[in-house]
C-alpha cells in the first residue's frame, strides 16, 4: 500500500515524529533484525590516568550530550507504525558506561576483535537513550573506547562526530563528577529523508510499482524492471532465528605506511581508496569462488554520506546515508591462479560513479519509503526473500581531531555494524586515522554465508581478509620507488 504520512501523539517530552527511514531503523531493531553499531578508538593519554574509573569520562560525556541532542532522547512506541522521539528528562551516565577488565593491547584494534560481537549484539533498556561507551584499558595511559549506539539515533559518521566531541573534551581538565543530571531540553533537527531533500519524480515513483505488477518480460521491455546480470552471489535468503542470531566479526588492520603508499598510487590512477577497496574485495571473492561455475557477478553496495549536499556538517549526528549498487564480473581463474592485478579502469569508474551519486538528491530509492503506509510490516515481510546485494562497503574515511591534541590522542579507529538480517551477506566497515592505520571490520550474520558450518564461514572470511591484505602488499611492492 502507498500512503504519505503517519500519526504521532504529542505529550510530555515529545520531540518529533520519526521519518520513514528512521522508522525503518526502529522497526528492524524492535524486531531483533539489527542491534547496535559501534565506532571505537584507541585513546593514548600523555600521562597516567584512572582509565578504569567512570569519573575519568564524565565531563567528556556531558559535553557530548550537550552537543548532540540525539544522546538524550528515546524512541517511544517502537513496536507501532508511528514511533516518535521523546526527550529523556533525566540522564544517569552510569547506565551508559561499561568498563571491562584490562587486556593486552599490543595489536591495537585487533586486540578487541573478540569483544566486538557482544558490544554489537547488546541493546540497553528501551526507556533510556540507546547508546553507551565501552572502555577496555590496555595500560595506565592507553585504552580502547567504543561508542555503540542505535542506528535510529545516527549513522556511522555520527560515531565519528561523537569521538571528535569526546576527544576535544578530554583535552580539558573538567571537574564534573555528577553521574545523574538533567540536560537542557534541545529540539532535534528535521530528518534527512524529507520530500524537500529527496524529491521523487513520477517516473521514478511508478517504476518499482509497475515492475511488480507487469509481467517480467513486459516490464523489462518497457524499462520498468530491475536490470541485473545473471549469476549474482547473494548467499542465503534473509532469515531470522532469535535463539541463534549473532554477529560474527573479523578485523583487518593496514599499517600507516602501506595506506599512505596506496593513496599515492590511487591518486596516480585518478582513483580513491573506496574504489581500490572494491577491487581488492572483488579479487578476493573471485579467488574464493573459483570453483563455482554458477556464479558470474557480484552486486557491490556502497554507503554514501549525504551531509554535504544538504548543507550539514560531518560533526552533526543523524541519519544522512544513502547507497548505490554497482555490478562487477567475477574474475574467472584457471586452476590455482591468484588474482593480483588491480583493474585501475574499474577503480576510476567506481570512484567517478560514487562521486556523482554522493551529490544526487533527486530520485533516491530512500525517498520511496515515505510512500509506504506501514514501514514495519514492509520490513518484516522481507524475511525469506533473496538478498539484493553481495556485499556492502561503508567507509567513514579518515578521523581527524577537532583541534590540536595535547592531553590525549586517538591513534587508531574501528567501525563495525552488527549482523544485518535484511542486509548484505558481508559488510566491510572501514575507517582510518589521519596519517595512521586503516582498519577494516568484516561483519556478517552467523549462517548468512550459506556455507556448511560457522567454522567454514569463519575460514571463508579469513581468506577474504588475507586476500585484501595481500592486495595492499602487492600494490605497495610494485609501486615505483
CATH value at residue 373: 3.30.559.30
Q: Does residue 283 sit within a domain?
A: yes
Cβ partners under 8 Å of residue 291, min gap 6: none
Same domain? 32 vs 117: yes
371 - beta bridge partners?
none
Q: Does residue 212 sit within a domain?
A: no
- Euclidean distance between CA atoms 186 and 130, whole angstroms: 17
- Euclidean distance between CA atoms 316 and 186, whole angstroms: 14
Residues spanned by the domain of 314: 229-405+414-478
Q: What is the mean pLDDT of residues 18-27?
A: 97
Same domain? 244 vs 170: no
Indicate the Cα dihedral angle 18, 19, 22, 27, nearest 10°.
70
pLDDT band at 481 (very low <50, low <70, confident <90, very high): low
| Coil, strand or helix at 87 | strand
Total domains in the fold of the chain: 2
Residue whose C-alpha is closest to residue 153's, from 59, 37, 32, 41: 37
- List pLDDT tens digits, range 173-194: 776 788 998 888 889 999 999 9
pLDDT band at 14 (very low <50, low <70, confident <90, very high): very high
Specify the pLDDT at position 210: 62
Q: How many helices (H) and strands (E) does the chain have?
A: 11, 16
Q: What is the mean pLDDT of residues 420-431?
A: 98
Are 347 and 475 in contact by the 8 Å Cβ rule? The answer is no
Q: Does residue 395 sit within a domain?
A: yes
pLDDT band at 1 (very low <50, low <70, confident <90, very high): very low
pTM summary value: 0.94
Are 183 and 66 in contact by the 8 Å Cβ rule? The answer is yes
Q: DSSP code of 391? A: E
Specify the pLDDT at position 332: 82
250 - beta bridge partners?
442
Decide the pairing of beta strands 438-445 and 408-416. Answer: unpaired
Q: Is the pLDDT of residue 10 over 80?
A: no
Cβ partners under 8 Å of residue 363, min gap 6: 199, 200, 201, 204
Q: Does residue 206 sit within a domain?
A: no
299 - beta bridge partners?
327
Same domain? 171 vs 296: no
Q: Does residue 188 sit within a domain?
A: no
Same domain? 38 vs 120: yes
- List pLDDT tens digits, range 87-124: 998 999 999 999 999 999 888 888 999 999 999 998 88
Cell representation of residue 309: 549536499
Same domain? 399 vs 260: yes
Q: In terms of pLDDT, which residue wins out, 478 or 127?
A: 127
Are 25 and 70 in contact by the 8 Å Cβ rule? The answer is no
Amino acid at each position: 500500500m502507498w500512503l504519505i504520512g503517519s500519526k504521532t501523539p504529542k505529550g510530555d517530552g515529545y520531540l518529533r515524529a520519526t521519518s520513514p527511514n528512521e522508522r525503518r531503523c526502529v522497526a528492524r531493531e524492535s524486531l531483533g533484525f539489527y542491534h547496535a553499531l559501534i565506532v571505537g578508538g584507541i585513546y593514548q593519554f600523555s600521562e597516567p590516568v584512572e582509565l578504569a574509573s567512570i569519573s575519568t569520562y564524565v565531563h567528556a560525556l556531558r559535553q557530548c550530550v550537550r552537543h548532540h541532542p540525539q544522546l538524550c532522547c528515546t524512541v517511544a512506541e517502537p513496536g507501532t507504525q508511528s514511533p516518535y522521539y521523546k526527550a529523556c528528562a533525566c540522564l544517569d551516565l552510569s547506565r551508559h558506561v561499561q568498563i571491562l577488565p584490562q587486556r593486552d593491547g599490543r595489536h591495537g584494534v585487533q586486540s578487541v576483535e573478540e569483544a566486538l560481537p557482544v558490544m554489537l549484539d547488546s541493546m540497553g533498556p528501551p526507556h533510556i537513550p540507546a547508546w553507551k561507551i565501552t572502555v577496555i584499558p590496555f595500560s595506565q595511559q592507553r585504552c580502547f573506547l567504543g561508542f555503540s549506539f542505535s542506528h535510529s539515533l545516527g549513522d556511522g559518521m555520527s560515531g565519528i562526530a561523537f569521538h571528535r566531541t569526546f576527544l576535544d573534551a578530554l583535552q580539558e581538565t573538567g571537574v564534573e563528577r555528577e553521574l545523574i543530571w538533567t540536560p537542557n531540553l534541545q529540539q532535534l533537527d528535521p530528518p534527512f529523508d524529507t520530500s524537500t531533500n529527496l524529491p521523487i519524480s513520477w517516473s521514478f515513483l511508478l517504476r518499482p510499482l509497475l515492475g511488480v505488477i507487469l509481467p517480467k518480460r513486459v516490464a523489462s521491455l518497457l524499462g520498468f524492471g530491475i536490470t541485473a546480470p545473471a549469476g549474482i552471489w547473494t548467499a542465503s535468503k534473509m532469515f531470522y532465528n532469535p535463539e541463534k542470531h549473532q554477529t560474527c566479526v573479523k578485523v583487518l588492520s593496514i599499517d600507516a605506511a602501506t595506506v599512505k603508499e596506496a593513496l599515492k598510487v590511487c591518486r596516480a590512477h585518478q582513483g580513491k581508496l573506496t574504489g581500490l577497496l572494491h577491487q581488492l574485495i572483488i579479487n578476493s571473492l573471485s579467488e574464493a569462488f573459483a570453483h563455482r561455475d554458477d556464479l558470474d557477478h557480484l552486486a557491490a553496495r556502497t554507503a554514501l554520506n549525504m551531509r554535504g549536499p544538504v548543507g550539514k556538517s560531518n560533526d552533526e549526528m543523524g541519519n544522512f546515508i544513502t547507497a548505490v549498487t554497482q555490478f562487477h564480473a567475477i574474475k574467472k581463474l584457471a586452476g590455482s591462479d591468484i588474482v593480483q592485478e588491480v583493474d585501475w579502469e574499474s577503480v576510476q569508474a567506481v570512484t567517478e560513479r560514487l562521486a556523482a551519486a554522493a551529490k544526487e538528491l533527486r530520485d533516491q530509492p530512500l525517498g520511496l519509503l515515505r510512500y509506504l503506509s506501514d514501514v514495519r510490516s514492509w520490513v518484516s515481510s522481507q524475511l525469506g526473500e533473496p538478498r539484493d546485494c553481495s556485499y556492502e562497503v561503508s567507509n567513514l574515511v579518515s578521523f581527524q581531531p577537532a583541534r590540536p591534541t595535547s592531553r590525549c590522542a586517538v591513534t587508531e579507529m574501528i567501525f563495525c555494524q552488527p549482523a544485518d538480517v535484511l542486509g548484505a551477506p558481508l559488510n566491510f566497515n572501514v575507517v582510518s586515522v589521519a596519517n595512521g592505520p586503516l582498519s577494516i571490520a568484516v561483519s556478517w550474520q552467523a549462517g548468512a554465508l550459506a556455507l556448511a558450518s560457522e567454522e567454514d564461514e569463519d575460514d571463508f572470511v579469513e581468506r577474504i581478509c588475507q586476500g585484501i591484505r595481500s592486495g595492499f602488499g602487492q600494490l605497495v611492492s610494485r609501486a615505483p620507488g
